[in-house]
Amino acid sequence: MARLTILRYPDPRLHKIAAPVAAVDDKIRRLADDMVETMMAADGVGLAATQVDVHLRLIVMDASETRDHPIVLINPEIIARSEEMRVAEEGCLSVPQIYDQVERHARVTVRALDRAGETFEMEAEGLAAICVQHEMDHLVGKVFVEYLSSLKRDRIRTKMLKKTREEQRG
């Protein structure tokens, strides 16, 4: 397994639209495993392929309390969503150290293919519901900061660009 580089906002590649995975083969399984390792190493709850510059509909997440139940969702689709909405604080591995409130559906049902290419359905609530909606946004090129005001977003953009410049300078 290998750790992958996570794109940082405002990298334009974070806004690419991911294509469906045509076949769940060894290459896709390796990508999923590398994404799980990358997510764990970064102490994240979820990671979308978009964030590692692979523009395929694949996300990994682990919303378990014990942080030892990573799930792979390939070609995920939300097939049901609650009318009830919930506001919670979110962060993103592509926008390090930034947290803000986002409104999401309180519960969603997702259908996806697993690592073996089998279809499964998952009912998510709480952190898992937030996570799956957040990660699926990445697949359509949407970063959570796009839910915030343009003022906040501009501030975050400036902060991230500064951080990247400082790191490059060493």
* Token pair belonging to 42: 């970064």
Under the binding rule (CB under 5 A), the answer on residue 21 touching Ni ion is: no
Q: How many residues bind Ni ion (CB under 5 A)?
A: 1
Show the DSSP H helices in the chain as ranges.
26-41, 126-139, 150-169
Q: Of the two residues 25 and 143, which places its CB atom closer to Ni ion in the complex?
A: 143
**Is 90 known to be catalytic?**
no
The single residue of 37, 77, 121, 135 carrying the catalytic annotation is 135
User: For residue 58, what is the enclosing H or E element?
Assistant: strand 58-61
Question: Is it true that the peptide bond before 70 is cis, omega within 30 degrees of 0?
Answer: no
Looking up tokens 């949407």, which residue turns up? 142
Q: Of the two residues 87 and 116, which places its CB atom closer to Ni ion in the complex?
A: 87
Nearest residue to Ni ion, by Cβ distance, number only: 92
Single residue of 31, 39, 59, 92 touching Ni ion by CB under 5 A: 92
Residue 146 beta carbon to Ni ion: minimum distance, rounded to whole angstroms: 11
3-class state of residue 12 by DSSP: helix
Q: Which residues are catalytic?
A: 135
Residues that bind Ni ion (CB under 5 A): 92
